[in-house]
Amino acid sequence: MIWPATVTIDMNAQIPRNIPILSCLLMLALGFSLIAGCSGRRSQTPVEGYACYAKALPTQGDGGLAWGPSVKTASVKAMGNCQRYAAESGGTPSTCQVTLTGCR
């Protein structure tokens, strides 16, 4: 088969104009369905499902942040983290104090 050297394009050809509209509607429906699927989810707590947190800081060095099932548990963990991180960073682990606590 021999192909012609020139290709002619019919400038009067009718292009269906509803195809772009249908594709936009399809994308919009898909977006709404994804949003609707996620809207019923509860927010996840950050670590291991615990809702309470505590932050402990030394006077020098790095502090610690911890999560736990209660403020007391989170505070104990935060103090341990603070002492460890302060010692590793050349700070003062004996001066660690809990500075922030709360639950979500």
Domain extent at residue 95: 52-103
Cα-Cα-Cα-Cα dihedral sign, residues 4, 10, 13, 15: positive
pTM: 0.54
pLDDT digit string, tens, across residues 9-26: 666 666 566 667 777 677
pLDDT digit string, tens, across residues 40-81: 555 544 556 789 999 999 999 999 999 999 999 999 999 999
Euclidean distance between CA atoms 101 and 53, whole angstroms:
6
Looking at residue 17, what DSSP letter applies? T
Euclidean distance between CA atoms 89 and 53, whole angstroms:
22
61 domain-assigned:
yes
71 domain-assigned:
yes
Residue 25 and residue 19 in contact, taking contact as beta carbons nearer than 8 Å: no
7 domain-assigned:
no
42 domain-assigned:
no
Euclidean distance between CA atoms 79 and 62, whole angstroms:
12
24 domain-assigned:
no
